[in-house]
Chain A
Amino acid sequence: MNQLQFFLALVSGGVSAAALALSLFTPLESALLLKIFLALGTLSLVRFLVPLGLWFDGGLAVLGAVAVLLSIGVFTPSPSFLWMALVAAWLFAWLFVERLSKTLAPGLSDNAGLGLLIPIMFGVSILVIWEVVTRAGNVPQVILPPPSMIWGRITASVPTLWADFQQTFLKAVLIGYLLGCGLGFVVAILIDRSPFLKSGLLPLGNFVSALPIVGVAPIMVMWFGFDWPSKAAVVVIMTFFPMLVNTVAGLNAASSIERDLMRTYAASYWQTLLKLRLPAAGPFIFNALKINSTLALIGAIVAEFFGTPIVGMGFRISTEVGRMNVDMVWAEIAVAAVAGSVFYGVIVLIERGVTFWHPSVRGA
């Protein structure tokens, strides 16, 4: 047991004991599960005499989360021992994750399933704390609705959310992303071939990237209409420059020996490009693809604030904020966050497959 674990064990047990003492002033049968959790938490202090397995801490954390969630509303206003129980459950979760990561540290790769448990614990902890704080603390819904309410809104509005997702993500984001990245890539290769284009196009690309999106979006709506093409155009503008700059840098990433080697084979320009310079540029290109995956979503959503048909994630956010339907805004945010993370994750997976040889991927 290291210092941090010792401290966590002491405080979590101590807080449980104090909360248990306070809870004894209420009738025994009310919030019984919470009291059981607090009693077990207090008992965990025996670990300083008898070692306890880390799964005991994991179990306590889960029991604590369930007990606290079920006890909201039993007493009004929420008593101090409820908050202390929440703190104790969180500390048990922390202790569990801390111990788990220490046991996994030597052989992390062959414990991938258990390794996944750590981020899941982390995410669930945040959701539980959010839920308890908003509900037990009576936080106004306009300020922050509890996750359960957001989830209820998501399940109740699947058709709307799906239509918005289709409009914004499947049309504006994906098409704009493919066009912007593709254009940046092609222009980078042209620039690389001709010094004339380099001095002409690179500053122009730089200039375009410096344009503020709130200024560009209305103009794109004038040019390409209210529907998704104007949003795709904004995405093209946002994604073009990162791709251009990264590809230009990547094309120069091959070492001089590697280029000389191609020269000794009397390789043509295209052979050198395809067999050496593009593979060597791979890590740079994937960096741009990753940066752009998040930029594209932001661009498309913000662009919808400046004129859109009555569908789309950005449109929904801007109108529902006006109607104080904050749960719907959060539902859209949740969809955007999941879509953005999946998009990013897919690109990372492709990157691992393509640039498996790069030290940053193979971990050497």
Chain B
Amino acid sequence: MRGLNAVVSAQNLGLTFKTNDGDVVALSNVNLSINKGEFVSFIGPSGCGKTTFLRTIADLERPTSGSLTINGQTPEQARKDRAYGYVFQAPALYPWRTIEKNVALPLEIMGYSASQQAERIRRTLDLVNLSGFEKKYPWQLSGGMQQRASIARALAFDADLLLMDEPFGALDEIVRDHLNSELLKLWAATGKTICFVTHSIPEAVYLSTKIVVMSPRPGRVTDVIESDLPRERPLDIRETPEFLAIAARVRDGLRAGHSYEEVA
């Protein structure tokens, strides 16, 4: 399973935060392998370490034990090679830049030429259906459009790995459904490997080829579910028995991860 195809490979990964109130174990003994082209969702209650795990892949946090490789490299090397694009919970568009200048930000930093920048801005904004909004400022767009712009920004430099941390968490359900199906199309069109953090079961099942169920205190993986749903997924696939079966298994995994005193 951990062949050359593994984009992300974690072995006995642990991360402990040192705080004034003592140590907090955010991740404990995480073993996981993510292959090229997979769409992996991380789901679990808050505090289960799903965001921390994503941030560790991105080298925004340093693991305190175990090993983690991205494309066979350390996370730091991978980050310096610009191996991934990261989409945060908030769009985090810079308000003093227009949409096209926001998408150009990573390209400027990575030293792309002006003509390459223009070409990539056009292509990625087209991919997220934001053509025509190049000259707008972020505050002139709706929340959903802002988050689409931030996805375009993460795609602009064509990293093979896309890390998304609850990107649609702040949006209403109608916009979220729409962006989910757009995201699937985008994934099919680009063939990227996507790691997607969410706390919505339908969202996780609808999007993923693999669902990683996590539980808190300490953050650990309780179940890894390979989804056998077809890659082509219309929105009404969510009413089929196959979909509901996977959703039920995710729900069981989440319940099993909870200790009883927390439920009470």
B81-105 near A? 1/0 per residue, CB < 8 Å: 0101110111010111000000001
CA distance A282 to B95 in the complex (A): 12
The segment from B106-114, B179-187, B236-244 found at the interface with A is B106-114
Asked if residues B137 and A357 are in contact (CB atoms below 8 Å), the reply is: yes
Q: Which of B92, B109, B137 contacts A265 (CB 8 A)?
A: B109
Tell whether, in the assembled complex, residue A275 and residue B95 are in contact, meaning their CB atoms are under 8 Å apart: no
> Could you say which residues of chain A place their CB within 8 Å of the CB of B96?
279, 282, 355-357
As a 0/1 sequence over residues 142 to 181 of chain B, the CB contacts with chain A under 8 angstroms (1 = contact) are: 0000000000000000000000000000000000000000
Interface size on A, residues (CB 8 A): 22
| Contact A266:B139 (CB < 8 A) given known A275-B109, A276-B94 | no
Q: Among the interface residues A264, A275, A362, which one has the most CB atoms of the partner chain B within 10 A? A: A264
**Chain B residues with CB below 8 A from A364, complex form:** 139
Q: Chain A 242-264, CB within 8 Å of chain B: the 1/0 string? A: 00000000000001011011111
Whether the Cβ atoms of A260 and B139 lie closer than 8 Å is no
- Whether the Cβ atoms of A264 and B92 lie closer than 8 Å is no
* Chain B residues in 8 Å Cβ range of A355: 96
Contact B80 A275 (CB under 8 A): no
* A-contact bits for B66-87, CB 8 A (1 contact / 0 none): 0000000000000110101110
Is A271 touching B95 in the complex (CB atoms < 8 A)? no
Chain B residues with Cβ below 8 Å from A358 are 95
| B residues near A260, Cβ cutoff 8 Å | 60, 86, 88
Q: Tell me whether A357 and B95 are in contact (CB under 8 A).
A: yes
B86 touches A264 (CB 8 A): yes
Given the complex of chains A and B, what is the CA–CA distance between A263 and B89 in angstroms? 16
| A275 contact set on B, CB distance < 8 A | 94, 105, 108-109
B7 within 8 A of A: no
Q: Are A261 and B86 in contact (CB under 8 A)?
A: yes
B90 contact from A257, A271, A279, Cβ within 8 A: A257
Rounded to whole angstroms, the CA-CA distance of A362 and B139 in the bound complex is 10
> Distance in Å from the Cβ of A13 to the closest Cβ of chain B?
49
Q: Is the CB of B109 within 8 A of A271?
A: yes
Q: Looking across the interface, which residue of chain B has its beta carbon closest to that of A272?
A: B109
A362: chain B residues at CB < 8 Å are 139
Select from chain A the residue with minimum beta-carbon distance to B91: A257
By size class, the interface of chain B is 20 to 34
Q: How far apart sit A149 and B90, CA to CA, in the bound complex (Å)?
A: 62
Kindly state the separation between the CA atoms of A305 and B90 in the bound complex, as whole angstroms: 56
Contact of A279 with B94 in the complex, beta carbons under 8 Å: yes
- A267 at interface, CB cutoff 8 A: yes
Contacts of B58 in A (CB 8 A): 264
**Which residue of the partner chain B has the closest CB to A364?**
B139
Contact of B60 among A258, A264, A356 (CB under 8 A): A264
Inter-subunit contact B84/A264 (CB<8 Å): yes
User: In the complex, A271→B107 CA distance in Å?
Assistant: 12
A254 and B229 alpha carbons, distance in the complex (Å)? 42
Q: In whole angstroms, how far apart are the Cα atoms of A103 and B96 in the complex? A: 35
Q: Which residues in A have their C-beta under 8 angstroms from that of B106?
A: 265
Closest-CB distance, A3 to chain B (whole angstroms): 39
Note all chain B residues with C-beta closer than 8 A to A262.
109
Given known A-B contacts A265-B110, A267-B109, A357-B139, A258 and B95 have beta carbons under 8 A apart: no
Q: Quote the shortest CB–CB distance from A300 to chain B (angstroms).
A: 34
**In this complex, what residue of B is CB-closest to A258?**
B92
Q: How many whole Å from B156's CB to the nearest CB in chain A? A: 10
B residues within 8 Å of A by Cβ?
Answer: 58-60, 79-80, 82, 84-86, 88-90, 92, 94-96, 105-106, 108-110, 137, 139
Would you mind naming 12 contact pairs between A and B with Cβ atoms under 8 Å apart?
A257-B88, A258-B94, A261-B86, A261-B92, A264-B79, A265-B82, A266-B109, A271-B109, A356-B96, A357-B95, A358-B95, A364-B139
The 4 closest A-B CB pairs, nearest first, are A357-B95, A357-B96, A264-B86, A257-B92
Taking A263-B59, A275-B105, A357-B139 as known contacts, 7 extra A-B pairs with beta carbons closer than 8 A to each other, sorted by chain A number, are A260-B86, A261-B86, A264-B85, A265-B106, A275-B94, A282-B96, A362-B139
